Amino acid sequence: MPFAEPYADLGPDFVKRFGPLLQAATVNAKPKEPALLPAAGAASQLTCEGFAGGKEVQLVLVRAKLGADGKPLAVRETLTYRRDIAGSDLVYDLTGEFMQGKARPFDCDLREQPARLYALMPFQVEMRVSAEVESGNFGEADKVKVRVDFLNGLGKPAAGALPCHALLRAPDGKVAWERFLATSSEGSLAQRLDMPRGKWQLVVRSLLTGEESSSELLRPK
């Protein structure tokens, strides 16, 4: 089964944005119960699917159930937590790209979209991006080595898959390369990209907070 198939009903934009993240998370065993649960219980119009992003990251895909017409219901409901989730844990709305806050009951608004994806962690994280130009061998193009980490307060990578968006802008301002990516379950992401001569710009955006990091890269002519 192609990876995108279980989520195709959520639309190509969702699969494009979060496919790499969910694919990274599927290498881990699923939790018996998701970290987020509908407060309405069995009467809820929501479904919650949990994923283990890694040792320190839990992911929850919240969907609206289908109506009689086969389309997702337009609903807004309160979500609560699995019993073992600490009240000090933090919740990130990856769909909206913002921090929801500490683990307190909150409303999940699916009136304008069929699903939301959340990440839960025991601490706040900050994205760090590093980029280094590597000289190619004779006859080969230079490359830029990009590394992305989401760091905790101690400066260590969060152990879990987390999403970002990256693009490389050419000297003429056009986007030469663009991808939605995810760190590994161990908490880091590394990419190598071809980089012709000139001044290039690398822009990486965190899907946890919408924070952007921009780096200028120069390969002498």
- Whether 126-219 and 5-121 are alike in CATH topology: the answer is yes
Query: Domain 126-219, CATH 2.160.10.10 — does that match?
Result: no
Alpha helices in 55-164 (DSSP H): none
Confidence band, pLDDT 50/70/90 cuts, at residue 15 = very high
- pLDDT attached to residue 221: 58
The pTM is what? 0.92
Share of the chain above pLDDT 90, in %: 76
What average pLDDT does range 4-18 have in this prediction? 86
Confidence band, pLDDT 50/70/90 cuts, at residue 2 = very low
57's CB contacts (< 8 A; 6+ apart) are 119, 120, 121, 158, 159, 160, 161, 162
Evaluate whether 143 touches 132 at the Cβ level (below 8 Å): no
203's CB contacts (< 8 A; 6+ apart) are 166, 167, 169, 212, 213, 214, 215
Q: What are the pLDDT digits (tens) for 26-77?
A: 888 899 999 999 999 999 999 999 999 999 999 999 999 999 999 999 999 9
Structure tokens belonging to residue 176:
């030469």
- Burial of 84 (C-beta count, 10 Å sphere; 0-12/13-18/19+): exposed
Confidence band, pLDDT 50/70/90 cuts, at residue 21 = very high
Residue 16 amino acid letter? K
Residue 1 has pLDDT above 80, yes or no: no
Long-range residue pairs from 88-93, CB within 8 A, at least 24 positions apart, any chain = 88/122, 89/120, 89/121, 89/122, 90/120, 90/121, 90/122, 90/123, 90/124, 91/36, 91/118, 91/119, 91/120, 92/118, 92/119, 92/120, 92/121, 92/208, 92/209, 93/118
CATH topology of domain 5-121: Immunoglobulin-like (2.60.40)
Evaluate whether 199 touches 162 at the Cβ level (below 8 Å): no
Domain boundaries, the chain: 5-121, 126-219
